[in-house]
Chains A and B, each alone.
Chain A
Amino acid sequence: MNSCSDSVNVLRYLDNALTGKELEIFGAHLQNCPTCRVRVEEERALSSVLHRSRPLYQAPEEVRSQVSEILKQHSAAGSAVGIYERPLTLLQPSLRNRWLRLPIRDVCVATVLAVGFCLILAPTVVRRVHAASYVETAVGVHRSYLEGSLAPEIQSDSPTLVSVWFAGKVPFDFRLPAARDNNPLYRLAGARLVSYRGQNAALVIYETQSKKISLLVASTKSATIAGGDEVRSGNLLFHYFSRDKFQVITWSNHGLAYALVSSVLVSGRESCLVCHQNLADRDAYRRRP
C-alpha cells in the first residue's frame, strides 16, 4: 500500500474506491510523499481532460436514422412491452410518489377497494386492453408497411403460394381462400411474418388500384377480439374501429384473430362494401337507417 509505484491505488483513491484502513494508510502516505501527490494531481488533470473531450465520437446522422428505423420496426412488429406496458411504466414514478405521501390506513382502504374493483372489472378491462393492443399493432404494422420499413417477404398474387409459404412458419394452420371473383377490386400482393406477443403472426398484403390493405392474422391464444362498433354477419361478429386515417375491422374465426387495416375513406362498416359490393353478403355491410 505504501509503495510509490502502485498506480492502481492512485486511481482507486481518485475513484473514491479506497475506504477505511486502506484510505487512512494511503492518506498518510500522500502527506509524506511529494511524488505521489504529484502523481495524484497528474491523474486528476488527465481525468479532467478526458471528461472535457466527451463524447469521444458521435454517431453520424445516417446511423441514428438506421437504428431508429430498426427500433421502429421492432415496435411495429408487435413488441408486447411497447404496446401494453409502456403506459403503465410511465405511470409508475408518479404513482410511487403519491403513495408515499398517504397515511398507511388510507393506503390500506384504497388497496382493498382497488382489489375489489379489479376483481369485478379485471376480466373485461384486460380483454379490452388486449383487443385494443391488437388493433394498435395492426395499425402500426400497416403504417410501417406503407412507409416501406416492413417489406413483404414473399411477393405473389397466388393465395396457394402464399399459404404454402406460411406453412410451418406460424403456430397455426393458415390458408388463404382462392379468389372468388374474376375481376376483383383488390389483389393479393404478398405477405410476411411479424411478431405479436412473442409469437409469429401472418401479415397479408392486398392492393386496390390506389390503396393498400393489410390483414394481420394471429392465434386467438395471443390476440383478443373485442370492442369497437359491432356488426354481426352470419356467424361472424365484426368490430369496426377508426384509428387516425385508417379503418380497422377485426373478427375471429376458427381460433384465428383477424385485423384488416385500410385507408378507405368511408365509415368502418362501409369499408367492407368496397370489396364486397358484388358479393352475396353485401347487404350485411350497408348502413342501416
Chain B
Amino acid sequence: MTLDVYEEMQDTTLSCYIDGLFGYAMILTRNPTEAADLVQETYVRALKAKKSLRPSSNVKSWLFTILRNIWLNQLRHKRSAPQIVELEAHESMADVAIATSKDPHAQYVSKVEQKRVRNAIQQLTAESREIIVLREYEGLSYQEIAAMLDCPAGTVMSRLARARAKLRMLLSVDEQSSQQSESDKAKRRFQ
C-alpha cells in the first residue's frame, strides 16, 4: 500500500484522490457544500504540510486523515449543533457521476443500484458509514484505518463486520420492498 511518496506528491497525482475525498467528506458531513469545503481545505493543508511527510508514508491515507481532522475540528467548533442535511441536493450532483462505456440499459441499472447502495449506506451510523467507505470504497488496509481512527486493527475489523451485516440487511429490505412494488404494479396492470 505504501507508494513512492515523491511520485504521489506530484500535484497531478494528488488530484486523483478527489473523488475518494469527496465521497468520504459526503459520508462524514452528509452535506455537499460542507463536503466541497472540506475537500478544498484538505488540499490546501496537504500542500502546506507535504514537506513533513515521511518517505514511508501512504499519501492516500495521509490525505484522508487530514480531511478527517479538519472535520473533527469543525465539529468541535460547532459544539455539536444540529447538522444540516442536504441529501436532496447532493443526489443531483452525485448522479452525474457513473458510467462511461456502458450501454444505456446497463447505465440505468448501474445508476439505480448505486443510488440504492448510497441510500442504504446513509442510513448507517456515522461510525459504520465511515468504516464502510474507507475499507470497501477506498481500499485502505485495516492498519491504515486503525491509525486514522486511532483504535486497534481488531476493533476496525469487528466494526466493519457489524457495519456490513447492517448494510446487508438494509439492502435486502430495500430489495424486497422494490420487488413488492414491482409486483404490485404488475398486478394493477392486469386488473
Contacts and interface: CB of A to CB of B under 8 A. Distances in A.
Nearest to A86: B10
Contacts of A11: 157, 160-161, 164
Interface in B1-46: 6-7, 9-12, 14-15, 18-23, 26-27, 32, 35-36, 39-40, 43-44
A103 interface: no
Interface stretch (A71-79, A134-142, A217-225, A241-249): A71-79
- Interface extent on B, as a size class? 35 or more
B165 A7 contact: yes
B121 interface: yes
Contact of B117 (A49, A72, A81): A49
A67 B43 contact: yes
B186 interface: no
Given A63-B40, A64-B18, A71-B15, A53 B117 contact: yes
B22 A59 contact: yes
Interface in B136-191: 136-137, 154, 157-158, 160-162, 164-165, 167-168, 171
Interface in B31-71: 32, 35-36, 39-40, 43-44, 47, 51
Contact of A56 (B15, B47, B137, B162): B137
B47 A50 contact: no
Contacts, number: 124
B171 A46 contact: yes
A59 B117 contact: no
A182 B47 CA distance: 44
A75 B11 CA distance: 8
Given A58-B19, A63-B22, A68-B15, A89 B161 contact: no
Q: Identify whether the interface residues of A are mostly helix, strand, loop, or mixed.
A: helix
Q: How large is the interface on A (under 10, 10 to 19, 20 to 34, 35 or more residues)?
A: 35 or more
Contact of B10 (A55, A64, A82): A82
A254 interface: no
B12 to A, nearest CB: 8
Contacts of B22: 57-60, 63
Contacts of A56: 23, 26-27, 114, 117-118, 121, 133, 137
A55 B39 contact: no
Nearest to A68: B15
Given A67-B15, A74-B47, A8 B97 contact: no
A157 interface: no
Which of A11, A53, A85, A198 is the most central at the interface, judged by chain B CB atoms within 10 Å of its CB?
A53
16 contacts: A7-B162, A7-B164, A11-B161, A47-B136, A50-B137, A53-B118, A55-B97, A55-B98, A57-B19, A57-B23, A57-B26, A57-B94, A62-B36, A63-B40, A67-B15, A74-B47
Interface of A: 7-8, 10-12, 42-43, 46-47, 49-60, 62-64, 66-68, 70-72, 74-75, 79, 81-82, 85-86, 89, 198
Interface of B: 6-7, 9-12, 14-15, 18-23, 26-27, 32, 35-36, 39-40, 43-44, 47, 51, 90, 93-94, 96-98, 110, 113-114, 117-118, 121, 132-133, 136-137, 154, 157-158, 160-162, 164-165, 167-168, 171
